[in-house]
Amino acid sequence: MRPSKQLINMSFVNPIVDFLPLILFNIVGNYWGLPIALYLSLPLAIILLAFAYNKQLAIFSWHVSISLLYILICGATLLVCLLPIFQHIQSIAFEIIASGVIVVLLSLQKPIKKLFLNNFRGIPMVNNLHEFFRTMRMFLILLVFHILAWICCQYLWETSQVYGKINNLYTVLLVGAALYETVRVYMIRGQLGQEEWWPIINKQGKVIGAVERKESLQNPGKYLHPVVRIIFVYNNRLLLRLRNSNDMFYPNLWDTTISSHVRYGETMEKCLERLVKKALNFHPSEHVEYKSYYTNMIQAGNAAIYYYVIQLKTELNMEIDPKYGQRLKWWTVKQIDDNICSGVFAELFMGEYPYLHIKKILS
């Protein structure tokens, strides 16, 4: 399932938009003074908050939190510039304060991520948090560059002419970085619209975010995803499928009837229905019983496995869609027991097989 454009925009917010008031305050303040910088940046901050409230209400508190940074940094800058004791650093006060705030936030990265991931339900925040801290690190580099240039001009070169040129370079780099990030985010959004997304859940099964399928596969073990596994049972026999030779998980091994990652925005029941209809052309009028939930490290990462049993009333000779497997075969308990150590079964199936005996699904 592909997420909606609105969901993509909320799950991959352009951090530059939230930082625009700060960027404007910084640039205008360096050239025309802090009063004009405040008069221009404050209305922009209010307009952006109003836009976020209208278009992205589900993550409005996220935008408010970043706006508080604007109030904190700009307010502290104005206060410092009013105090005579700090008169000698007025021209670089914003950069010093902003750098200090960013360093503190970066040092608190883990608790901040935990706070936001636990307080947004159903909205993927992993990408937003990643981009937020990535952008802050980029701005920190530019701010430190500006501070060091100011120190050199004040105490080493003792010339304001060079500092003026460096200030122009700093402005160009700041604007260039903002434009680069904006273009990058819009390009990524376009790619995300074509990707299949998997939900990210915590150990309690709560959705805390989402990630593109390709991104998850490139980082095995980093995320916990829900996986549905379904086994068909009839007359003490199991319907197993032979996985494809190019399958990412357990190629050329016999496994449960059908399985799949749950897609973002999809319930377990919808995933089950999609699988049996699409892969097996089967409409589940039979009794479907949810039997177990467990977590396991599969070959592509962590999986929270939801295990279902479909108990058939009559034997069916079904065919599997070639995309999902090579073929299906009914296995008796004796056949499975005789081959359990021969290496023909997938690791997950071998872990689930004893459970079917314990619950007396098999005898």
pLDDT(176) > 80 = yes
| Residues above pLDDT 90, as percent of the chain | 43
pLDDT, residue 45, reads 95
pLDDT, residue 359, reads 82
Relative to beta strand 301-311, strand 287-298 is antiparallel
Predicted confidence band of residue 315 (pLDDT cuts 50, 70, 90): confident
**What are the φ/ψ torsions at residue 301 (nearest 5 degrees)?**
135, -165
- For residues 154-182, average pLDDT: 85
Q: Which residue has the higher pLDDT, 148 or 285?
A: 148
pLDDT, residue 169, reads 93
CB atoms near residue 154 (< 10 Å): 16
pLDDT, residue 316, reads 77
pLDDT, residue 37, reads 95
| pLDDT 10s digits, 10-42 | 777 889 999 999 999 999 999 999 999 999 999
Q: What is the mean pLDDT of the chain?
A: 86
Long-range contacts of 242-248 (CB under 8 A, 24+ apart): 242/325, 242/326, 242/327, 242/328, 242/329, 243/325, 243/326, 243/346, 244/322, 244/324, 244/325, 244/326, 245/326, 247/325, 248/217, 248/299, 248/300
pLDDT, residue 103, reads 97
pLDDT(4) > 60 = no
Say which amino acid occupies 68.
Answer: L
Please check whether residue 241 is in contact with residue 331, taking contact to mean a CB–CB distance below 8 angstroms: no
Say which amino acid occupies 112.
Answer: I
pLDDT, residue 24, reads 96
Nearest to 149, CA basis, from 97, 95, 102: 95
| pLDDT 10s digits, 102-147 | 999 999 999 998 888 777 655 667 788 889 999 999 999 999 999 9
pLDDT, residue 301, reads 63
pTM: 0.64
Residue whose entry in the numeric block shows the structure tokens 């460096």: 166
